[in-house]
């Protein structure tokens, strides 16, 4: 996901996933830290990078659900507007 806002300076980019660090006035600094914890708990990875010439890009990867691999059931990619939902054997991700 990317935007064209003010972006993140290099020092902020290095700290953006730290708990209680925020670039927003009055921000708690928990959102991205929680997101990274959840994604890493599922053996995924979350990162941030500059969106040249302005803004930021956040991306993540996560492995395919093990049940889909073991069962051999192909995943269906169901698109709902801008969101993607994966379905296999009556389970949603």
Question: What pTM value is reported for the model?
Answer: 0.65
Helix or strand run (H / E) with residue 88: strand 83-88
93 residues of the chain, pLDDT tens digit each: 888 888 888 889 889 999 999 988 999 999 999 999 998 988 888 999 998 889 999 988 887 766 555 555 555 555 555 555 554 544 444
**Residues 47, 27: Cα–Cα separation, whole Å:** 20
**Residues 58, 82: Cα–Cα separation, whole Å:** 16
Q: Which residue, chain included where needed, has tokens 């997101």?
A: 35
Longest dimension (CA), the chain: 49
């Amino acid at each position: 996901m990317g935007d064209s806002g003010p972006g993140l300076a290099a020092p902020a980019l290095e700290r953006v996933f730290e708990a209680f660090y925020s670039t927003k006035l009055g921000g708690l600094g928990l959102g991205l830290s929680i997101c990274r914890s959840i994604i890493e708990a599922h053996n995924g990875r979350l990162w941030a990078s500059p969106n040249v010439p302005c803004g930021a890009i956040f991306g993540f990867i996560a492995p395919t659900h093990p049940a889909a691999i073991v069962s051999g059931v192909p995943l269906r990619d169901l698109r709902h507007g801008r969101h993607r939902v994966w379905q296999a054997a009556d389970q949603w991700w």
